[in-house]
């Protein structure tokens, strides 16, 4: 009865439009009251949810991403990508994917990726004769590279959800190959669709132009190298690397590129404060909600349920992926990481899956949910940027869904894709 009340109150709050963070808190409060537990414990769990030093890295990563978004780094990355791969058939689609891989690896945010690159590339693609749905679909689906390729604040949230059982530095390394693999799948899909629709190719600008655009992009690209390299080398903690990354982004955009105006700086500060506030409130309330899930022994019951249906590890992993895909279509990613990790990680662990591999699988899976209706945040933002009705985008986006799904299956069933790099560099 208590578990039904917890889940029922949460579902009701979501249905009536209550923000997910508050829905989690209200549901936890109702369950505490039903069980006769002291209500002050709810607020202790809420405070404990964010009383973690490593979470200080999240506002720094978000601020660094906003600074780079508003400071002109995206344009330089697009120019480099266009010079490098724009000469292939339908090259601007491949440029879009390549740019997302580069910028996503710096900003760590899918929304920042769409906002920055979409506002640049989508109008250019339309002017060059590309259909609006193609331009939007490539932009939306490639944006989730920012979730997988480090540094990513969602990786920090996952590490928190595991109770510190997973190293953030290992997660950072584990995301590199899967992120590149997913982008390759998307680039191939973009190329094949471009050929089918008869899109042309851009002229190769020459090796000197390629070298110049690369040199111009280096200061921005070094942001990710400094952040990830500092953590892996032991020079910085994750929090310190985030702070240094934000300082470096400010120096690059203000003094090197000289493209950050006072107005842009204020906009970046306000945006990062808003995003950080939403993320922290969500993490805090999810802490109380996860406590009640553990109280009702949901993780162990889930293990028993799935293994009772079948003992085939392939089928169990497919079921976990199916549940995550369905939930990702209707709920916020950060909330799902915090709720689903304590439930499904024990199941995956019982099958012999490494927690790091499970984390990457979950991030790719939930990233796909950001691109799918009815609550696909990336899809909504991409359609708004491209001025395209959502129904038109959804009608032709399925080949890109398939590309991400292929990458997801490879990540799920080939552990070496996620684990080779962290095992080589951290053991």
Comparison of pLDDT for 188 and 112, the residue scoring more: 188
What's residue 380's pLDDT? 80
Bin 382: left if φ > 0, else alpha if -120 < ψ < 50, else beta. Answer: alpha
Q: Which two tokens stand for residue 159?
A: 């590490």
- Please write down the HEC assignment for all residues of 307-341: HHHCCCHHHHHHHHHHHHHHHHCCCCHHHHHHHHH
Q: What is the mean pLDDT of residues 39-55?
A: 76
CB-CB contact of 365 with 319 (8 Å): no
What's residue 87's pLDDT? 73
What's residue 292's pLDDT? 82
Give me the residues paired with residue 201 across strands. 89
What's residue 389's pLDDT? 85
Q: How far apart are CA 145 and CA 147, in angstroms?
A: 5
Q: What is the mean pLDDT of residues 398-412?
A: 94
Q: How far apart are CA 328 and CA 341, in angstroms?
A: 13
What's residue 414's pLDDT? 94
Note the pLDDT tens digit of each residue in 116-132: 677 777 887 888 788 88
Tokens 């997973």 belong to: 166
Note the pLDDT tens digit of each residue in 296-337: 877 777 777 777 788 888 999 999 999 888 888 877 788 888
370 lies in which domain range?
2-426
Q: Helix 73-85 crosses helix 91-107 at what angle (to 10 degrees)? A: 140
With cut-offs at 50, 70 and 90, classify the pLDDT of residue 109. Answer: low
Q: How far apart are CA 382 and CA 367, in angstroms?
A: 14
pLDDT higher than threshold 70 for residue 44: yes
With cut-offs at 50, 70 and 90, classify the pLDDT of residue 405. Answer: very high
pLDDT higher than threshold 70 for residue 427: no
Angle at 314 between CA 309 and CA 319, to 5 degrees: 55
Note the pLDDT tens digit of each residue in 242-289: 788 888 888 888 888 888 888 888 888 888 888 788 878 878 887 788
Torsion, Cα of 277, 245, 112, 256 (10° steps)? 130
User: In a 10 Å sphere around its CB, with 0-12 CB exposed, 13-18 middle and 19+ buried, how is residue 374 labelled?
Assistant: exposed
Q: CA 6 → CA 22, 46, 335, distances in Å?
A: 13, 16, 15
Give me the residues paired with residue 89 across strands. 201
Note the pLDDT tens digit of each residue in 15-36: 887 887 788 888 888 888 888 8
Domain count, the chain: 1
Q: How far apart are CA 79 and CA 257, in angstroms?
A: 14
Closest by alpha carbon to 279, among 333, 322, 342? 333
Q: Which two tokens stand for residue 282?
A: 């969500």
């Amino acid at each position: 009865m208590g578990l039904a009340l917890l889940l029922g109150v949460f579902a009701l709050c979501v249905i009536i439009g209550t923000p997910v963070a508050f829905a989690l808190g209200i549901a936890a409060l109702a369950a505490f009251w039903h069980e006769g537990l002291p209500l002050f414990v709810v607020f202790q769990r809420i405070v404990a949810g964010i009383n973690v030093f490593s979470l200080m890295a999240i506002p720094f990563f978000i601020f660094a991403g906003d600074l780079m978004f508003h400071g002109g780094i995206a344009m330089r990355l697009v120019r480099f990508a266009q010079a490098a791969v724009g000469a292939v058939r339908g090259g601007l689609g491949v440029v879009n994917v390549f740019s997302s891989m580069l910028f996503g690896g710096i900003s760590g945010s899918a929304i920042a990726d769409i906002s920055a690159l979409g506002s640049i590339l989508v109008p250019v693609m339309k002017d060059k004769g590309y259909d609006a749905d193609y331009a939007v679909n490539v932009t939306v689906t490639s944006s989730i590279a920012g979730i997988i390729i480090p540094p990513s604040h969602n990786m920090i949230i996952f590490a928190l959800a595991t109770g510190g059982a997973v190293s953030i530095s290992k997660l950072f390394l584990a995301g590199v190959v899967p992120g590149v693999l997913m982008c390759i799948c998307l680039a191939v899909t973009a190329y094949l669709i471009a050929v089918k629709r008869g899109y042309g190719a851009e002229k190769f600008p020459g090796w000197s132009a390629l070298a110049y655009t690369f040199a111009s992009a280096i200061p921005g690209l070094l942001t990710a190298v400094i952040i990830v390299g500092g953590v892996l080398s032991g020079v910085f903690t994750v929090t310190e690397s985030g702070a240094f990354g934000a300082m470096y982004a400010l120096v690059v955009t203000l003094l090197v590129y000289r493209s950050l105006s006072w107005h842009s700086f204020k906009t970046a500060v306000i945006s990062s404060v808003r995003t950080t506030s939403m993320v922290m409130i969500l993490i805090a309330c999810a802490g109380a909600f996860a406590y009640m899930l553990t109280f009702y022994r949901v993780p162990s019951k889930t293990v028993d349920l799935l293994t009772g249906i079948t003992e085939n590890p392939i089928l169990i992993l497919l079921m976990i992926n199916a549940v995550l895909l369905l939930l990702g279509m209707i709920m916020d990613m950060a909330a799902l990481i915090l709720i689903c990790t304590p439930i499904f990680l024990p199941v995956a662990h019982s099958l012999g899956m490494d927690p790091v591999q499970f984390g990457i699988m979950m991030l790719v899976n939930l990233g796909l949910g950001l691109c799918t209706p009815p609550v696909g945040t990336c899809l909504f933002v991409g359609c708004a940027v491209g001025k395209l009705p959502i129904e038109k985008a959804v009608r032709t986006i399925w080949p890109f869904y398939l590309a991400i799904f292929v990458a997801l299956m490879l990540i799920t069933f080939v552990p070496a894709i996620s684990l080779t790099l962290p095992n080589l560099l951290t053991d």
